[in-house]
Amino acid sequence: MTTTARTAIIREHGGPEVFVIEDREVGIPGKGEIRIRHAACGLNFIDVYQRTGLYPMQLPHALGMEAAGTIEAVGEGVTHLKVGDRAAYASAPPGAYTEARVMPAAQVCPLPDEISFDEGAAMMLKGLTVQYLFHRTTPIKRGDTVLFHAAAGGVGLIACQWARSEGITLIGTAGTDEKCQLALDHGASHCINYRTADWAAEVKKLTGGVGVDVVMDAVGADTFDGSLDSLKPLGMMISFGNASGPVPPFNLGILGPKGSLKITRPTLFTHISDHAVCQEMAKMLFGKVISGDVKIRIDQRFALSDVADAHRALEARKTTGSTILTL
């Protein structure tokens, strides 16, 4: 067992060029902690927000919020994992861009043998996000209609399949015809190219002028107004990301005349903060994948040393499906 691990860190906020690869001490797990050796780690837009300083953190700091690998050591009080177990997680604090780390055990989940390490690294943050969007935020039932932005991304392709598996109509948006077709191939009922069509008007046409029951919007500033206009009366707006920048301040009073709309800004880490809840959410996600209802599509792989290039591709909207860093 080595005592250091190659790790991607930042010493200042900024563009992808701020990444530095260095060897860091790993240490031994204390009470409630585990040590995990990663096989792969995932890439997510929250990593970009942390790198740029939109979500500030004390520096220097390693980035990365999800990974999969093998448990090397277990601290006092940890009972759901043992040395040698396969495991995966989406968890705070950041630090997944590394060969090995010591971290809190509560949100680390036993990974079924039927799911590969690459899939585990690609699916935890995205898949658990989809789980809370469809099951823990607002009631969504068979026959309801959901608008999902960035439907060909890592979260989006899981959401398309999840909706199909539960009889929910999903209208997606994406930036190219090819990405729209990818969303359709993965279960979206419709997908609108937002670069060539007035997507909010198209949503109204597709719903007979009524609007959708729920909007799931991780794009943020660019889509916020149109998302509200796409909702039916009493509809729910779930704003769960800021890919185009944060939503600017708005007058809460506009929700009334637009149809007594509801709005929420959830984060995954609130939902998984309780150990038992996190493990149950993961079991549902694993069940979807093992059954074949959800397939984890990994379209990009980068070496850990090329993490800056991975971030550039993600920010330039050049990725589809999930992206992982290999170790």
Q: pLDDT tens digit string along 248-276? A: 999 999 999 999 999 999 999 999 999 99
CA 100 to CA 98: how far, in whole Å?
5
Compute the average pLDDT of residues 143-170.
97
Q: Provide the phi-psi class of 144: left if phi over 0, else alpha when psi is between -120 and 50, else beta.
A: beta
CA 50 to CA 62: how far, in whole Å?
10
Helix 275-291 and helix 154-165, axial crossing angle in degrees, nearest 10:
80
Render pLDDT for 59-78 as a digit per residue (tens, 0 to 9). 999 999 999 999 999 999 99
pLDDT of 91 higher than 70: yes
Closest CA to 289 of 128, 71, 101, 70: 128
What mean pLDDT value characterizes the chain? 96
Whole-number percent of the chain with pLDDT over 90: 95
- pLDDT in the model for residue 242: 87
| CATH dotted code for 4-126+269-326 | 3.90.180.10
DSSP 143: T
Least reliable range by pLDDT among 38-42, 56-60, 188-192, 280-284? 56-60
pLDDT of 225 higher than 80: yes
- pLDDT in the model for residue 1: 59
- pLDDT in the model for residue 43: 96
- pLDDT in the model for residue 176: 95
> Which tokens is 40 given?
């792969």
Architecture of domain 138-265: 3-Layer(aba) Sandwich (3.40)
Compute the average pLDDT of residues 77-98.
97
pLDDT of 2 higher than 80: no
Compute the average pLDDT of residues 120-137.
98
Q: How would you class 153 by CB atoms within 10 Å of its CB: exposed for 0-12, middle for 13-18, buried for 19 or more? A: buried
Sequence-ordered alpha helix ranges (H) in 220-301: 224-229, 268-271, 275-291
Handedness of CA 289, 291, 293, 295 (dihedral sign): positive
Task: List where CATH 3.90.180.10 sits in the chain.
Answer: 4-126+269-326
Task: List where CATH 3.40.50.720 sits in the chain.
Answer: 138-265
pLDDT of 3 higher than 90: no
pLDDT of 154 higher than 70: yes
Residues 6+ apart with CB under 8 A from 14: 51, 52, 53
